[in-house]
Structures are given as C-alpha cells and as structure tokens.
A and B are shown apart, each in its own frame.
Chain A
Amino acid sequence: MPLPDFTLPGPLAAIARHLPERPAAFAFTTALNLAKRAGKLAGDWEFLEGRTVRIEIEDLGSGVTFTAAAGRFHPVGNEPEVRFAARASDYLKIALREEDPDTLFFQRRLKIEGDTELGLELKNHLDALELPAFLDRLRPH
C-alpha cells in the first residue's frame, strides 16, 4: 500500500523548534555510520568528505546539518553547502521509492538550494542503493 500524504502535527513542530538540533543530528549521523558499517551504504561516499549537507524537515521546522570526515558522518553547526527541504512524508516516500525526487521537485515539494552538483551526487548515490528491507517494513500493509 502506498504511504498516505501527511503533515506532522503542529504541536510537534512547536516542540521541535525549541529543541536543540544537535541531538537529532547526532542520532541521524550515528544511524548513517551504523548503516555504513553494516555494509548497507554500498558505493563510494568519498565525495561527501569535508562537504556540508543540510536536510530540513519543513513540517518540523527543524533539520540536520552533517558532514563526513575520514569516512564517518558527523553533525556540524556551520553553513551548509547544499540544503534540501521537504516534508517528512515526502522524504519517507523518496526513501521507500514511492516518489521520484525529480517529480517532487517539479511539484515544488522538494527544494534544493546551494551546490546543486553536490545535491545531485548525493541523490544519485542514494538511488544506486538497493532498498534495505527495514525501510520496506515502514510501509503500511
């Protein structure tokens, strides 16, 4: 069954806006590092070394900014080189391969600002991954 469209409830965003971003960013990059160590992020991620990417969740009014150093992902606080912005449900649809990022871009549901080439390279690397089974379990059955 396809994932329904949803917007995160307003109160959640109100809380999130007041929370520091660092813990969420730390959880996010730790998940990435674990996935990488488990061999779930195949391919060459060298291009992210020393680059700064921000993923903003619009309906949460918050996001994570991270970089890669010596093959590990870390949260950072500086200005990102490229910034993605979309709602949580649209990120999930991209991850579940239900929606094509270009489609969401044409529909103005996904925004990319800054270094377009870095953003495109990240998108293409994610596309080249075989969908991990744990993501499929997020889908409503």
Chain B
Amino acid sequence: MRKPELVCPAGSLPSMKAAIDHGADAVYMGLKDATNARNFAGLNFDAAAAREGIRYAHAKGRKVLMAINTFPQAGQSATWRRAVDTAADWGVDAVILADAALLDYAAKTHPNLRRHLSVQGSATNYEAINLCRDLFGIERAVLPRVLTVPQVEHVIQHTEVEIEVFGFGSLCVMVEGRCLLSSYATGESPNTAGVCSPAKAVRWAQTPQGMESRLSGILIDRYGNDEPAGYPTLCKGRFEVNDETYYALEEPTSLNVVAMLPELMKIGVSAIKVEGRQRSPAYVAEVTKTLRAAIDAAVSEGARYHVKPAWQAGLGKLAEGQQQTLGAYSRPWK
C-alpha cells in the first residue's frame, strides 16, 4: 500500500512554515492576484515571501505546488501565462492548472515543470483525465468533491495519472468549476475572479432576531445567538422552499475523511489535500498535525487502525458550522 502525500494549504508564509513544521509532504500556494481560486485581499504570496517559503520547504525536503487555477479572462491571458513563467522561475515542484489553453502553454513553454489538473478543471471521469494527459502531459488530477469511493476507485483503475482527493475542509458541493451561484449573486465566481462570495459583497449584522449574513444584499442566513455559523456562500444558506426554511442545498459543514483513510489508501489515492488557504496558521498547524498522525497510523497500524477521539475533536472544532461529514464519498443512494 502506498502512502499518500499530504498536501496542505498556505495563504501566507507563516502558514506555509506551519504546514511544513507539522508534517505536510507538500504545500500549495498562489500569487496575490486573480490567477488563483483564493483571491482575497491581503492573502497569498509576493515574490519575497514565495522565495523564502520555497527555500524553507526544499531545505526540509518538502514540495511547493503553485495554484494558477482560475480561467484567464478575455484579453488578459498574458497575466496567467506570466504566472506560469514565474512558477517555473521560482522552481516550484508543480503548477496546478485548470484552463486547457494555460495547460497547453505550460506544456509547450516549460515541459519540465510538472503539471497537475486543478479541481477547478472539473474532471470527474477517467476519460477527461486521460485526455488531459494525452494533450498536456498532466501527472496528477485533483478530483471534485462529488464522487463516491467506488467512483474514485473506478477512475484510479483506468488511468496512470496520480489521483488527489480532498481530505479535510469546507465543502464546495457543486462540482467545483461548474457552480454559478456566486456569479448569480455577485458577478464574480471562483473561476472568473478567484473568489466565491467576494468579501466586498458580504455583510454581517447583529439584529434582534440574530446575526444576519448577506451577500449582495441577499439574505443567506440568520443565526440564533448560540448557533454555529458558516461561510457566507449561497450553497450553505437557509432558504424558504415550499413553506419550509432550511438548508436546501448543503449545510455549513466541513469534509473529514479521517474515518475512511484506509479505504482511500487501498484504492490507490496518491495524495490527500487539505482545503483552506484563506485560514490562519493556527488552523493549518492543527489540521496538518492531525492528518499527519492519522495517515501515519493508517499505514503502520493496518487493519488495527482506528480513529482517535482527540483527532476528531480537534478537527471538529475547526470545522465550518462545527459539523463534519464524509460528503459524497459516502452516498448510499449515489
């Protein structure tokens, strides 16, 4: 059984160092612009921080992956191409790309720079993944969080491209790269502007009925005083449907696959990814430490592997809406 790589998020240099110090095999990061899917004010890396982070990671034998995983906007493809050139120049270990034209550019201009297909590329079947391998020489694909374990296994059995899956973090339920909810409310989406629910469109207000969360004025949710909150995304709002007000699409919750690590390893998953470049170093440290311990235990304990309550308690505390789920991996109804 091969040990999957643990891939952790870094939105800043302290987060990157925290991931490396707590056992990440690889960290992923992005530039301070719309070329990556976490384009938040003040987040991400300038040249000085990136070079220091890459030096720090490589000195400890870890990898740095650079996400350039949004879609070049009309007339601006030079910005995205420049990001790929920058990644090659800095000596990152791989670029994570979604757009076909950008993959083509990277393959032709920097053939020796390893290419991963981003989750934003939205490839959910082996035909799509093998096509990207044939056309652009991708060596890894990150699967959207919508497949069951047997479906992931089916993909792995039919491709030699490495498969990376999400292991922990906020859920995006709509086949990443195909969701229009954020565009509907704000005109910006992960693919176009690198953000779902841009902060400038978000307003929270304490009212006598509770805390209201609004996106471009649209009321997404109203939390009672002790009710846990989630991110202000439309998919995790409470809406009135047929006279009933409830989480009609998805609840504020985080994915957590610690309980099914042995299964994911058995079917041949190459890497486990942690979501959350927008989170702080404290989150990165805690999640990395816990998943490191769990993956190591799944390898060394084999059939005796069991989930330690402390892991789940630690991860549960950090989870969106204070809830955890196995997500699509376990959908008995498919």
- Residues B12 and A103 in contact, CB atoms below 8 Å apart: no
Bound-complex Cα distance A103 to B282 (A): 10
Query: Looking at the complex, which one of A98, A111, A128 makes contact with B14 (CB distance below 8 Å)?
Result: A128
Query: CB within 8 A of B228: which of A94, A107, A127?
Result: A107
Contact residue among A47, A108, A119 (Cβ-Cβ distance under 8 Å from B229): A108
Complex Cα gap A119–B200 (Å): 10
Considering the chains assembled together, what is the distance between the CA atoms of A100 and B12 in angstroms? Answer: 14
When distances are taken between beta carbons in the complex, the residues of chain B under 8 Å from A47 are 41-42
How many A residues touch the partner, as a band? 20 to 34
Within 8 A of A (CB), among B290-311: none
List, in ascending order, chain A residues with CB within 8 A of B286's CB. Answer: 100
Q: How far is the CA of A58 from the CA of B206 in the complex (A)?
A: 14
Whether B283 pairs with A100 at a CB distance below 8 angstroms is: yes
Contact of A101 with B by CB under 8 A:
yes
Q: Which of B43, B286, B321 has the most chain A CB atoms inside 10 A of its CB?
A: B43
Q: List 25 A-B contacts (CB under 8 A).
A: A47-B41, A47-B42, A94-B280, A97-B282, A102-B279, A102-B280, A103-B283, A106-B319, A106-B320, A106-B322, A113-B206, A116-B199, A116-B200, A116-B203, A117-B198, A117-B199, A120-B41, A121-B42, A123-B280, A124-B40, A127-B15, A127-B280, A127-B281, A129-B14, A130-B14
Residues of A at the B interface (CB closer than 8 Å) are 47, 94, 97-103, 105-108, 111-114, 116-117, 119-125, 127-131
Dominant secondary structure at the B interface? mixed
**Chain B residues positioned under 8 Å from A94 (CB to CB):** 280, 282
Q: Does B230 contact A (CB under 8 A)?
A: yes
**In the complex, what distance in Å separates the CA atom of A47 from the CA atom of B200?**
14
Give the distance to chain A from B171, nearest Cβ to Cβ, in Å: 13
Interface size class of B (residues with CB under 8 A): 35 or more
Q: What B residues does A127 contact at CB under 8 A?
A: 11-12, 14-15, 280-281
Kindly list chain A residues whose C-beta atoms are within 8 Å of the C-beta of B320: 102, 106
Given A102-B279, A102-B280, A103-B282, 15 new contacts (CB under 8 A): A47-B41, A98-B282, A100-B286, A106-B230, A106-B321, A107-B317, A108-B228, A111-B204, A117-B41, A117-B198, A120-B40, A121-B41, A124-B12, A127-B280, A129-B14
Could you tell me which residues of chain B, from 266 to 287, have a CB within 8 Å of some CB in chain A?
A: 278-283, 285-286
A105 smallest CB distance to B (angstroms): 6
A48 → B minimal CB distance (Å): 11
Cβ–Cβ < 8 Å partners of B281 in chain A: 97, 127
Looking at B49, B281, B282, B283, the one whose CB has the most chain A CB atoms below 10 A away is B282
Q: Which residues of A contact B280 (CB under 8 A)?
A: 94, 97, 100-102, 123, 127
Give chain B residues whose Cβ lies under 8 Å from the Cβ of A101.
280
Q: Render B43-56 as a binary contact track against A, CB cut-off 8 A, 1 for contact.
A: 10000010000000
Q: Can you name the residue of chain B whose Cβ is closest to the Cβ of A114?
A: B203
